[in-house]
Amino acid sequence: MKRIKYLLIILLALLFIPNVFAKENVEIVSIEMETKSDNATINNAPTYNGLIMNFDISFKEKDDYVKYKVTVKNNTNTDYMISEDTPFNISEYVTYKYETKDILKANEETSFFITISYSKKIDDSLLVDDHYNEKNNFVVQLKDNTGAIVIPNTSKDMNMGLIIFLTLIVVGTIVLLIIDNKKTKKNKIGILILCILAIPVIASAVEELKLTVNVDVNIEKGYKVGYYFNGRFVFTEEQYNNVEMLDDSICANIYLEEQSEHYYICSNVIMRDNKLYTKGEDVETKKLTLMNAFDVDDMCEKIDDENYLCQDIGFIDETTYDSWCVYGSLDFESEIFLDYSYLESDEEMMEIDSICLYDGRNTAFKMPNHNLLFRMIMIA
């Protein structure tokens, strides 16, 4: 009886030891941010451990995104493929996507890309204090070059079902022998614990080799900041891309002879800051340099009411604006700062009481819970 018991314990050890000391041999070695949109924020640098990675990001407007480059080291002698049918938790507002064209070559490093994007605008009713949080995850499975899902920590020639079946038989037999033999009281508890622990350790090898991506996403309501210009100014094409029109805004195109440059001369417009701000966030006012307007009718050839052809505008002076005021009205009550999303015309703008609630020359400013309009108060 003793011999049988010892033989069974040795057999259990043979099944147990390879899995205790086996190494997964495929691991993440680095995560780098590849690119992101202007209003996406990295709350915490990504972390990783083994084959698990964690991301913590915030978005302010639809189509915000962050793209990461993940590098994985394959320390085995086998080439692996990344599964194309990766399952992931479905999200209504956030899209998770990975891209790869490479095989995880044996004993080499391979990189692939994970993109997390704010794909559908969230309804304001779901926001709590202008915030929405979502925790999500998806799994990227690894397969061998035959397309079979990889089972780590085991020999390819061993059948896992058979291993677990034999383990259960061995453990069950040892338990029965211990119960039946009253002389083994001293060792009974220790051997029983060893047997019980052996089952999950061996069975854990059935898990698939996979990359697990955990994402903590915050969607924050972002508010716009604009800079109001009620005079006439010349804008470059890049500047004009950030111009918002009021109902009475006027703009004309300026083309230069034999040159590719294209300019716009406009009056009563708002220049938009591409950055969105959340409620309570410090507002960083911009320093804007614009070309002063000139009489296009005298200095250029008029093609039509919206287009002019000029020989040169290199003689036009530039002015830099770097100090701003937020005008408002006491009639706004709680929203005493001007919300420029309500503006439709320059005339409406001029009806605002000239109370400078924020003076950019000497005071700090935090974003209210609505859009904000700055007006210049001095020329640098």
Span 317-358, pLDDT tens digits: 888 888 887 765 544 443 445 666 667 776 666 666 556 666
Q: How many helices (H) and strands (E) does the chain have?
A: 6, 19
User: CA-CA distances (angstroms) from residue 368 to 155, 196, 224, 227, 279?
Assistant: 62, 60, 10, 16, 5
Candidate ranges 40-44, 139-143, 177-181; pick with highest mean pLDDT: 40-44
Please give the pLDDT value at position 56. 97
Q: Has residue 201 got a pLDDT over 90?
A: no
Q: Has residue 45 got a pLDDT over 70?
A: yes
Question: Where is pLDDT greater, at 150 or 205?
Answer: 150
Please give the pLDDT value at position 333. 42
DSSP label at 206?
Answer: G
Residues 207-219, mean pLDDT to the nearest whole number = 82
Decide the pairing of beta strands 26-36 and 65-74. antiparallel
User: CA-CA distances (angstroms) from residue 372 to 29, 38, 252, 284?
Assistant: 44, 19, 27, 12
User: CA-CA distances (angstroms) from residue 302 to 253, 268, 298, 308, 314?
Assistant: 10, 21, 9, 5, 19
The answer to whether 73 and 91 have CB atoms below 8 angstroms apart is: no
Least confidently predicted of 53-62, 130-139, 187-196: 187-196
Closest CA to 349 of 242, 239, 229: 229
Residues 25-46, mean pLDDT to the nearest whole number = 94
Q: Has residue 168 got a pLDDT over 60?
A: no
Instruction: Please state, in angstroms and rounded to a whole number, the distance separating the CA atoms of residues 148 and 79.
Output: 12
The answer to whether 19 and 205 have CB atoms below 8 angstroms apart is: yes
Q: Has residue 238 got a pLDDT over 60?
A: yes
Q: Has residue 54 got a pLDDT over 90?
A: yes
Residues 26-49, mean pLDDT to the nearest whole number = 95
Assign 66 a pLDDT band (cuts: 50, 70, 90). very high
Residues 178-187, mean pLDDT to the nearest whole number = 55
187: helix, coil or strand?
helix
Tens digits of residue pLDDT in 243-283: 998 888 999 999 988 777 889 999 989 899 999 999 888 88
Lookup: tokens for 106 = 């044996």
Residues 186-210, mean pLDDT to the nearest whole number = 54
Instruction: Please state, in angstroms and rounded to a whole number, the distance separating the CA atoms of residues 209 and 193.
Output: 28
Q: By percentage, how much of the chain surpasses pLDDT 70?
A: 63
Cα 279–chain centre separation: 20
Decide the pairing of beta strands 52-59 and 210-220. parallel
Question: Where is pLDDT greater, at 235 or 14?
Answer: 235
Least confidently predicted of 46-50, 167-171, 248-252, 294-298: 167-171
Please give the pLDDT value at position 81. 77
For the chain, give the number of residues: 380
Candidate ranges 45-49, 208-212, 265-269, 279-283; pick with highest mean pLDDT: 45-49
Closest CA to 297 of 330, 336, 254: 254
The answer to whether 86 and 143 have CB atoms below 8 angstroms apart is: no
**Residue 160 identity (one-letter amino acid):** M
Q: Has residue 207 got a pLDDT over 70?
A: no
Please give the pLDDT value at position 158. 43
Tally of CB atoms within 10 A around 71: 14
Q: Has residue 205 got a pLDDT over 60?
A: no
Q: Has residue 152 got a pLDDT over 60?
A: no
- The beta strands (E) that lie in the chain are given as 26-36, 41-49, 52-59, 65-74, 80-82, 94-99, 108-118, 131-144, 210-220, 225-236, 243-256, 262-272, 288-292, 301-304, 307-310, 318-321, 323-328, 355-359, 372-378
Instruction: Please state, in angstroms and rounded to a whole number, the distance separating the CA atoms of residues 117 and 99.
Output: 14
